[in-house]
Amino acid sequence: TDYHEYNWHDREKSLQDDNCIVDDAELQSIFIAACKSNRNTCLDIIIQRPKLKDRIRVAETDDAGKSGLRWAVEKEHDVIVEKLLNYFSGHCMYDLRFTLKKALKERHTDIIGFLLQQSFKSCHDFLDLFDLLHGAIILRDKDSARKLLDNDKYHLPVDDEIFEAICDDDRDIIYRNSRSEDEILVALVLYTASHNWPVAKRLLPQVQQSHSLIPSVMRAAAEHNCWEIINMAVTYNIVNKDPSYHERQELSKTLFESVRMNNDKIAFVLCSSQLVDPWPKIDEYGSSPLQEADARGLTKFISIFNKSHPPPNLIAGEENIIKAYMANKERTDKVFEIAKTEDPYTRNDGVKKLLSESSSFNTSLNANVRGQNGLTLMHLAASAEHNYSPTWSYRDINDLVVNQGGYINAVDCGGDTPLHYLCKGEGRCSPEWQCLANGMLELGADPRIRNHKGKLPEDYLEPQDEELRALLTEKRLQLNELPHPDSSEKIQLLEKLNTAATTTGNPCEIKELLKLGAPLESHGGFSGALHHAVTMGMRDATLLLLAAGASTCGLSSEGLTILQAVHRTPYLPAIIPSLIRDEYCISLKKELAQIPQERQYESLRNGIQNLMKDIEEKGNKAKWTCVSGETDEWQNFVDAAHFGLTHTCFFMCWENAGIGRTEQVKGHPLLAAVKESQINTVLTLCRDLKLNPYFIPGLDESQLPEGLITSMRELERETIENYHLRSMEKNILLANALDFLRHPNENSNHLCSFLRIVAELGLIHTLHEVRSICEIDLNTIIECSSNSQMLHIAALHGHRHMVEYLLFCGVPPDTLSNGGLTASHLAAIKGYKKCSLYLQMFSKSESKSNNKMTAKDFQDELRKLMRNVKLSLLSEEDEDTIFSDYDVTRTSRIHLEKKSIGMGIYSDILLQKYALENRVNFSLPENKKVKDAISNDISRLVKQIGCIDSRYEGRVVEAGSVSENIRLFLPDELDFNVELNNFSGLDGGNINILSREICKEKSRIYLKGESELEIYLHHKHNNEEMFSENNFIDYFYKATNSALKTFVFESPNISVIYPGIQKTRVGIALFLVWSEASQRVLLPSIDLVPTILANWPKDNDLNLLPKELQDMVADIPISIACYGSNHWRYCLSQIESKIISNLSEDKQSVILACKLLSGFLKTDWWYPDYYKNLYRVWNYIYLKVDSPVSYVIKTLFFKELSKHIDSDLWKKNHFFDRVISVFMGMVKYNEKGENMQATQVKSHLLPMYESQRFGDGAIDIIDFLRKLKDG
């Protein structure tokens, strides 16, 4: 606008008229013109009329890029400047500072001088001290410098010589004369103001004491990324440890600047010294350093902040996520609004500014940011304006791709690339479109990419767009087919892509890997790249992968959705979960728009709207709400697939596994999606949700997307090959299964192994393929001890889609396994309620076990079991932290503290009381019944084992916590030793109390510890082979397995469930269910260990025990047990049982408390998979980390018994000392007596021959006990 043409009198008169209509753009133009032209009258009218004043945007610029304030400053209109500062103070601050900084940079002395004088009048609170001092140095205005420093606030006199030397940059004058503290500080401040960092670094060590300006010096240094200054200020201890409000603000600004400059070194120095709290908001900036790091997605900063100033919860707080979500949404809307403007200068400059990494706004944006319907700036750039010409020029698109990092092949929610957008619409035959398409192809746009409907970009061109079609077709044919690496190459590329997404987040590296065909979905047991990027907080990599089409419906290797992963990962910037929430909401909003407005789809629309609101507000806690009955919900599922509502389908099926196909329901989601060519929906249904594509009327395998079934089979093959099993016999099982899979018709003897693995893992595509090659009876019993068929195993592992496959193959749903348990019962036993209910839908009547129990009875009893073992004591927040946090100490602390609080244990006295009260009383009829029945049947089983293999004839001896009378909570852990009759390590061959004749045959075995001990075994026949490799345990396992095939339990309450029997390191484990109608269900842990009687070694420490305990165990035999490869160890279980069971209650309470605390960190084999996954259970036993094993606790408990013979030292007042002493025996200190670490623990009675175990977990328990003692 030419401001000189304004008729100011008429303008001012019209503005005073109450009926005057002036739009925002015109009013803004008048405002800037008044500031530039010094029209005080016009400005007064605008200021005095709220209706006009409230519409003014002070910082907005004109075509020359200058605001009204900037013009007033440059023209030196001091009255105008003063009015603007008085009436628009908050909006003027940044504009005024920017003006001064620019003037300093350009050495514009008039503006500098004007603002310097104004700083002593109206704008002293708006300008930065160091900028003003810099101006004074440029102007050589020492009077202004004195006014700025020598005042009531700073009290620093400015020496003429020093000031002149700094103006002339004469460093020698500063260095050669000895200076006072104040002179050095003045020199430091002035050199800081002039950005002379080498001199500032030399002066800083000479400052001897803290001053209120030191934090300001640090802040100025941070603005220019000079982190050495901050480090030196902290190192030389010249920062006030008790800072004033002003100093705290300056330090916070320093931290804020470190975030803005992405310099985590500064943040680490400030936070580790505890000088700055990153949480409080900085008034001037409107946010805190933590919020800024959240908004920018800076994971390192979040980690530094949370470690130095831990929040109540390490997972990104809901409030922070909502703030980041809203801020990002506002900025995203802004960048798309600017990107649509017609003026190319405004558009290009505005977009660049918003994408700038060093933006002074709360957050910078990424070039791949996604707007409505998932479109990126690239999509917008390639689409048409209202006049049918391209929105952006090739030059702007080139800048976006080359300089800003925009992805040329980004896809929106429908899978459309920018080339698809370019080809849609009329008028594409003009040269400008062809020129733009050619330029995009040169930048790497790929015409081979199909959208979710399976269409290429050229498929959308009109018939008259011949030249553009020819261009795209020619380029597509030149490129051949999209790269399809084979399975091994895919895994290698995926590993590289995951590394790039996890370690560097480098977009260029990611783009190159995508060109080579790196898969975005998971493969070979690896999570997809998007899971890795989001959980490592890589914002730019996350946005790039989303733009590349990474599915938010994919699952990680741990079975987590993207939404769950980002809300369960600690130290993540809030921007990451907010971006993912936004991505889900963008997709769901587009899906909602695709649904017709007919009444019949009302419940589907309502469900999506509720889901969007839930995701926005609750994140991973959002669930699909069933708004209709089961039948109607299935119809909603079918309708959602018909319309291609991929995310809706995902949530409907993911959160409601009860959605399942029966013979009664009509239609099928897969069929509906295939008919409408909803390719992306089909992929999600099959690949992510594991929907069964077989036996669907009207759907043939050939109708599915090309290569889908093949790729699913490849994925399943990878799953088998990467399936790491923890027991030896299962590894053999796996090898047999793979052998059968390679040659089905040649290895029929391995069929059962194959079917077991397929059922355990739910591999329906592999099973279907093999069934097309050879005939398989799906009703075959594939595990004899539990009488299990495939249906039973699939149900026990919760594989509902395998269950569905088998049922539609004609497998009867009510087939019985051992104990009369159906597949529905077994699913209920392991906590798979939905799977159990689904099976019941196929049953003609409610199935009951031999004990007249229904599946619902088992579900109810499982809930009671989980309450009894205290599985429900942790909050969802605690569980999220446990799942996500790899810090073992923090995980252990949560388990110990939260479980003890849930149990009401607030002191050491309550710990003792609770341990005693929760000991299982085996004298009670219900507990005695369990113990006696199981003991009786185990004795009978051992006799049958001896009949099958006479080498394992023997006497059953109770061992473990039941025989020791220190079992907690449930009577469900029973250990038994089998003392073999036909072998002995006793001198003279006295095999047992039956005094068999001395055997002449001998075998030599070794016990390995710190010393090696040879034992000659006496036996009836030559059995050298039995004592080589793992044969001692292997033969016992085979004999037990054979016995169980025909063995019938006398107790009607005992049933064997899959896997029936499993090898352990020293014997075998039995998997049983104890069930009593209308009373209770138990899932006992039964271990059976074959042992051989032997002599005590001569160098034992039995004499360390109190005399009465020595006498007690004098006649009790000792035995040895094999733990693989003919390695043996002593077994003291009978002696331990005798001693512990006969101790006083005071002494027993100590070992009970020790077992209780270590039990907080353990699990059991029967825990539902939900808990095992949640608590990261490994090795079937431990929650993420070893806790002290029973062996270590018992040997150190015996050490306490030996040390403290006086019974008074075991009274209540010494209880805590005894407990903590047991755990202290598991740790050691370094040379300085600091930093405990777990150490190996020797056997108290046999230190030379017993294997040593680490006291893992003891440090955390010791810390917990000390806190408990302190209240």
Same domain, 977 and 1038: yes
Q: Has residue 51 been placed in a domain?
A: yes
Q: Has residue 609 been placed in a domain?
A: yes
Q: Please, what is the average pLDDT of the chain?
A: 84
Q: What band does 57 get if pLDDT is binned at 50, 70 and 90?
A: confident
Residues 6+ apart with CB under 8 A from 413: 373, 374, 586, 587, 590, 591
> At 1206, is the secondary structure helix, strand, or coil?
coil
Number of folded domains that form the chain: 6
State which of 221-235, 929-943, 1245-1259 shows the largest mean pLDDT: 929-943
**Tell me, what's the pLDDT at 486?**
62
Q: Has residue 807 been placed in a domain?
A: no
Q: Is 975 a residue whose pLDDT tops 80? A: yes
Predicted confidence (pLDDT) per residue in 183-203, tens digit: 899 999 999 999 999 999 999
| 225 and 263 Cβ atoms separated by less than 8 Å | yes
Same domain, 374 and 348: yes
| 488 and 497 Cβ atoms separated by less than 8 Å | no
Q: Has residue 986 been placed in a domain?
A: yes
Q: Is 1086 a residue whose pLDDT tops 60? A: yes
Predicted confidence (pLDDT) per residue in 225-240, tens digit: 888 899 898 888 788 8
Q: What band does 739 get if pLDDT is binned at 50, 70 and 90?
A: confident
**Tell me, what's the pLDDT at 920?**
92
**Tell me, what's the pLDDT at 1055?**
94
**Between vectors from CA 1194 to CA 1189 and to CA 1200, what angle results, nearest 5°?**
130
Going by C-alpha positions, the residue among 611, 612, 602 that lies closest to residue 639 is: 602
112, 127, 142 - which closes a domain: 127
Same domain, 1080 and 956: yes
Same domain, 1138 and 1160: no
Same domain, 371 and 424: yes
**Tell me, what's the pLDDT at 991?**
31
Mean predicted confidence (pLDDT) in 1191-1201: 91
Q: Has residue 88 been placed in a domain?
A: yes
Mean predicted confidence (pLDDT) in 19-44: 89
CATH code of the domain containing 28: 1.25.40
Mean predicted confidence (pLDDT) in 68-88: 87
| 256 and 227 Cβ atoms separated by less than 8 Å | no
**Tell me, what's the pLDDT at 431?**
86
Same domain, 957 and 1075: yes
| 1231 and 1185 Cβ atoms separated by less than 8 Å | no
| 671 and 699 Cβ atoms separated by less than 8 Å | yes
Same domain, 1098 and 1070: yes
| 362 and 327 Cβ atoms separated by less than 8 Å | yes
110, 127, 144 - which closes a domain: 127
Mean predicted confidence (pLDDT) in 684-703: 90
Predicted confidence (pLDDT) per residue in 889-925, tens digit: 777 888 888 888 888 999 989 999 999 999 999 999 9
Max alpha carbon distance in the chain (Å)?
131
Helices (H), 443-486: 466-479
In single-letter form, the type of residue at position 856 comes to K
**Tell me, what's the pLDDT at 1174?**
57
Q: What band does 358 get if pLDDT is binned at 50, 70 and 90?
A: very low
Q: Is 470 a residue whose pLDDT tops 50? A: yes
- Hey, what are 1144's tokens? 């006083």
**Tell me, what's the pLDDT at 883?**
67
**Tell me, what's the pLDDT at 550?**
92
**Tell me, what's the pLDDT at 998?**
36
- Residue 1089: φ, ψ to 5°: -125, 120
**Tell me, what's the pLDDT at 1179?**
36
Q: Has residue 832 been placed in a domain?
A: no
**Tell me, what's the pLDDT at 646?**
95
Mean predicted confidence (pLDDT) in 1057-1073: 91
Q: What is the C-alpha separation between 544 and 592, in angstroms, rounded?
A: 25
Q: What band does 1183 get if pLDDT is binned at 50, 70 and 90?
A: very low
Q: Is 362 a residue whose pLDDT tops 50? A: no
666, 691, 716 - which closes a domain: 691
Q: What is the C-alpha separation between 886 and 605, in angstroms, rounded?
A: 40
**Tell me, what's the pLDDT at 1153?**
94
pTM of the model: 0.77
- Which structural domain, as residue segments, surrounds residue 1010? 925-1142
Q: Has residue 997 been placed in a domain?
A: yes
**Tell me, what's the pLDDT at 988?**
42
Same domain, 282 and 358: no
Same domain, 3 and 115: yes
Q: Is 1177 a residue whose pLDDT tops 70? A: no
**Tell me, what's the pLDDT at 946?**
94
**Tell me, what's the pLDDT at 601?**
92
Same domain, 388 and 265: no
**Tell me, what's the pLDDT at 386?**
65
**Tell me, what's the pLDDT at 1251?**
58
Q: Is 1184 a residue whose pLDDT tops 70? A: no
Same domain, 12 and 116: yes
Q: Is 1047 a residue whose pLDDT tops 90? A: yes
Mean pLDDT check: name the lowest of 703-717, 801-815, 1249-1263.
1249-1263
Q: Has residue 342 been placed in a domain?
A: yes
Mean predicted confidence (pLDDT) in 204-216: 88
Same domain, 34 and 111: yes
DSSP 3: G
Predicted confidence (pLDDT) per residue in 653-671, tens digit: 876 644 566 666 678 999 9
Predicted confidence (pLDDT) per residue in 756-815, tens digit: 999 999 999 999 999 999 999 999 999 999 999 999 999 999 999 999 999 999 999 999
**Tell me, what's the pLDDT at 1017?**
66
In single-letter form, the type of residue at position 1240 comes to Q
Mean predicted confidence (pLDDT) in 397-403: 89
**Tell me, what's the pLDDT at 990?**
35
Residues 6+ apart with CB under 8 A from 593: none
Predicted confidence (pLDDT) per residue in 841-893, tens digit: 888 888 899 889 999 999 998 888 888 887 777 777 777 777 666 667 777 88
Going by C-alpha positions, the residue among 307, 840, 884, 293 that lies closest to residue 564 is: 884
